Every structure is written in structure tokens, then in C-alpha cells.
Amino acid sequence: MRPFPILNLSLFREDIGWYLRCLEDMIILSLQDFGIAGTRIPKLTGIWTGQNKICAIGVKITRWVTMHGFALNVSPSLAHFRFIIPCGIADRSITSILQETGNIPPKNDVLNSLCSSFRQIFDVKLEVQNAR
């Protein structure tokens, strides 16, 4: 799942590190809804469960407007990751909500959780648009 939040950071805080940490907080909060304890690893952007990455973050910011977002691993085939070095980190593995819980949550449950935690972390009203 690859949501793409768009914010004008000039209305919040012109600080890329702050924005990345807020996205991490949001995802950690959402993972709790599925019984997963997400954490940070110092100097490695993203969300982890133990030594395994469950969410990658990749943003673009132009004139303090955010683009792109994050990739939360809900139920990808983890076998595909054996052919690459995910995020350029050779000594870590990838995991997913399915791998951690044994269940694939409905897409709407994941989206609702992410939207709820986004509203909470950023204190905003959301306008959700589906990709075409």
C-alpha cells in the first residue's frame, strides 16, 4: 500500500526531519491497530519490527509541499525481496503485516487506520482521493 500524503509544510513546520519523524509516528500508531509494535532504528528512516523493515518512506518536497509518501508492506510476496537489497540495507530483512500477524487485513481497514493516525499526528482534516 503506497499512500501519498500532500502537505504544505510551510503551514506546519519547514523541517524535513520533523516531517519524516511524524510519518514514522503515524505508521507506528497505525500498526498498533493490527497488534504490531513498530519501531525506529536510529539513522535508518522507515518503520521496523525487530530487525525487519515493514514500511519504507520516500518523499519529495518542493517549495515545502510534500509529494510521494511511504510503502507499508501489507501482504507482498516477500520472496521477491531476495533478489534485491531493499533500501540499500544488506543486513536487514523485510516483513509485512501478513508475516507478522498471519492475517491480511482488509484494505479499507488499513486505509482507515492510516487516515485516523494521520489526522491525529498532523491535526488536520483529510481529503482522500483514490488513484486512477
Q: Looking at 22, 55, 87, 115, which residue is catalytic?
A: 87
Q: Is 22 a catalytic residue?
A: no
SS3 labels along 47-105? EEECCEEEEEEEEEEECCEEEEEEEECCCCCHHHHHHCCHHHCCCCEECCHHHHHCCCC
Residues identified as active-site: 87
